[in-house]
Structure 1
Amino acid sequence: MSGFSIPIVVRSYEMDALGHVNHAVYHQYAEVARMSGFTAAGCDWDGLMDDGVAPVLLSTTVNFRRELRANDRLEVTCEIKFGTGKTFNVNSMIIKADGTVAAEVYCIVGLMNLEARKLLTDPRAALVAGGFDPEKVAPTD
């Protein structure tokens, strides 16, 4: 589990021809959790942009475990792990109300200097300087 999660209810228009959630929607659920998790941790999106910095998604891997159907109630987690390089991991679990993991979403993210079009060398420090509290989205293993 992680230090942050957000509830989501599956909407009928997210279904595909097979009657379950379209694969692309899983990415959207993870994006909602990422944005909400960063905000809950104090990320000042406007401040980042004013400083000419923005997060960029570099890679996403989704492992689909169970199908989702209309009106399923979910918790989508957001867990951020920083290392020492230019990128960091933002992972989400999409969990059904009964505790079943429906999908695992693993992302690699960086912070880009929008003028230079290059990744910042220390994204954690840049986020923390802007008020981000990594403990609010840290793994709770």
Structure 2
Amino acid sequence: MKTSIQIEVRPTEIDVMGHVNNAKYLEYMEWSREDWYNKAGLPFDVFVEMGMGTVTANININYRKEAKLGQKLTVSTEPVRKGRSSYVLKHEIYNESGELVADAEVVNVVIDLKARKSVPLPEALAKQFES
């Protein structure tokens, strides 16, 4: 399942170069990831009930085009691949003109909340990677 959210670039997200600060793109992607989990029926509290959580292990981001104040951006999230305890979500950010602003692959790991160690993906999450 691919999901997307719409955002508008705010003044607090602009750096001294007059465009969106690089760290803000990670926040945009995090907001989109949260939306993806919710639409997949896997909000944070569902993981907690299973005694599990998800942590980000790696992010590879490509900054393609600058975004500026007031621009409306579309941030999408979709599952790419899964392993035993890890999985990859892909993000793309487009501007109003349909130009790719940034894209990234984010590696997440499912952990046992008490042991703080990786565990196999729960079935409900693994299903999200089936075609």
Q: Which amino acid aligns with 1:53?
A: M
Q: Which amino acid aligns with 1:117?
A: R
1:18-97 equivalences under 5 Å are 18-97=17-96
Deviates more, 1:84-93 or 1:95-104: 84-93
Identity over the aligned pairs, expressed in percent? 27
Structure 1 partner of 2:125: 127
Under a length normalisation based on structure 1, what TM-score does the superposition of the two structures give? 0.85
Q: Following superposition, which runs of at least 4 residues in structure 1 exceed 4 angstroms of deviation?
A: none
The alignment's C-alpha RMSD in Å is 1.9
Alpha-carbon shift at residue 124 of structure 1 (Å): 4.8
Alpha-carbon shift at residue 85 of structure 1 (Å): 2.4
1:82–1:124 contact (8 Å) kept in structure 2: no
Q: Which amino acid aligns with 2:82?
A: G
Gaps of 5+ in 2: none
2:88–2:106 contact (8 Å) kept in structure 1: yes
For 1:34, what is the secondary structure of its paired residue? Answer: helix
Structure 2 partner of 1:113: 112
Structure 1 partner of 2:16: 17
Under a length normalisation based on structure 2, what TM-score does the superposition of the two structures give? 0.91
Cα deviation 1:81-110 (Å, max 9, x = unaligned): 233422110110011111100001210001
For 2:93, what is the secondary structure of its paired residue? Answer: strand
Cα deviation 1:57-93 (Å, max 9, x = unaligned): 0001110000000011111000112334221101100
Q: Which amino acid aligns with 1:127?
A: L
1:57–1:110 contact (8 Å) kept in structure 2: yes
Alpha-carbon shift at residue 126 of structure 1 (Å): 5.2
For residues 83 and 114 of structure 1, what CA distance do their matches in structure 2 show?
20
